[in-house]
Amino acid sequence: MMNYKKHVVIIGGGFGGLNAAIKLSKSDVQVTLIDKRNFHLFQPLLYQVASGALSPADISFPLRAIFKNKENVNIINGSVKDIDFSNKNISVDYYNINYDYLIIATGTESNYYGNNNWENFSTGLKTIENATTLRNKILTAFEKAELETDVDKKRKLLTFAIIGGGPAGVEMAGAIAELSKHTLSCDFRNIDPSQSQIILIEGGSRILPMYPESLSSKAENNLKELGVKILTNHFVNNITEDFVELKFNNNLSEIASKTIIWAAGVKAESLSKIIEKKINLKLDNASRVIVNQNCSLSSNPEVFIIGDLANFKDDKNTILPGVAPVAIQQGKYVSKYILNEINGKTNKSFKYLDKGSLSVIGRKSAVAFRGNLKFFGLSAWLVWLFVHLLYLIGFENRVLVAIQWAFNYFTYNRSARLIANSSK
């Protein structure tokens, strides 16, 4: 009689789910990885796809290719419709899958804080579709401005409003500034792209509020050198097809723009609502699931929530941020925890090792810190390059991205400046 292999189902092929699957693929358990996409996406570089520096394939890698030599790993391309936690069963489109252990790592989506209609007039930066839509909008704006004779309409087309002064907003603002000031500066005959307005809007008192104040100041100065206008203490009051309405000291103002980018916050994906309903637990204000110190649910210890979907508090009672290093470490930890439990070994609580934070501003500058260590400029930018290449999945992707970055660095050229589906 064949020995029964424990079945671990993983929902989500992002950083957390992928790293859990990779570790489990080297063991004697059966693994099923479910994702609505058929690829792993390197989200930190989405802004480079949006600005034409990289192509979608450069930051994506097919999940089946990653596990093609791992016979104990099965990939299902589909969406989870329901989870029966009592009977340990998952409904995926038209399939039902049983599990012994379940790891949920579905990530986040843009959070419009109850103003869901704003999504119709602004674009987030969480998916490949978001990035290619933004690339189309940005490049199309320049093309339309080239033919526009009305001064006000032309100004509106050449104004790019980025809402949110966190890392995503800062990196996007820097990328658009370099695109307009350098890459496209000589490409048009009737407009001067370098005269475009790039406006970064932040509700707090400074950009990169999670960074030390000195680094926030460095980042602000670097962006201003690139021509980015920064508005702090400004809150979004409304977004339409043609403008962003801002509130500052109880006064309202408008920024006319045809390209509005939303980088002001995220929330856990809708799967958390299924968990909330099925187990009758409470979510936090970002729709995250509150988990134990081993990333499991109190009511269902065989179910683990990791990455952006998890509200995990460290020893200082601080919720871990929704960043790739947290998801990666939790994915590796949970997979080891499951294997230890199967083999009758003891387990420890999850401890996050903070390796620091990085944010790039333009072509050769960045800010970074780890603990009390702070650095900026070219040295931080080089660290950023190394770290991002290290985290990319697939040797071919690393080589191609490294070559593309080198080419962009020396020429300012962005070869992925393609407008696709412009008729839509």
Torsion of CA 43, 45, 51, 57, to 10 degrees: -80
SS3 75: strand
Q: Are 58 and 400 in contact (CB under 8 A)?
A: yes
In the structure encoding, which two tokens stand for residue 256, read together? 């006319």
Q: Are 176 and 52 in contact (CB under 8 A)?
A: no
Residue 42: which of 122, 98, 107 has the closest Cα?
Answer: 107
Catalytic residue among 71, 129, 148, 171: 171
Within 10 angstroms of residue 359's Cβ, the number of other Cβ atoms is 26
User: End-to-end CA distance of the chain, in Å?
Assistant: 58
- The answer for 382, left when phi > 0, alpha when psi is -120 to 50, beta otherwise, is alpha
Backbone angles phi, psi at 66, to 5 degrees: -65, -40
Q: Are 111 and 267 in contact (CB under 8 A)?
A: yes
236 forms bridges with which residues in the sheet?
A: 246
Cβ burial of 281 (10 Å; 0-12, 13-18, 19+) is middle
Check if 171 is active-site.
Answer: yes
Torsion of CA 81, 8, 98, 282, to 10 degrees: -50
The CA distance from 268 to 283, in Å, is 10
The CA distance from 368 to 185, in Å, is 30
Residue 158: which of 149, 145, 140 has the closest Cα?
Answer: 145
Q: What DSSP string describes 209-252? A: TTS-HHHHHHHHHHHHHTTEEEE-S-EEEEE-SSEEEEEETTEE
- Strands 39-41, 60-62: pairing kind: antiparallel
- Give catalytic residues, as residue numbers: 171
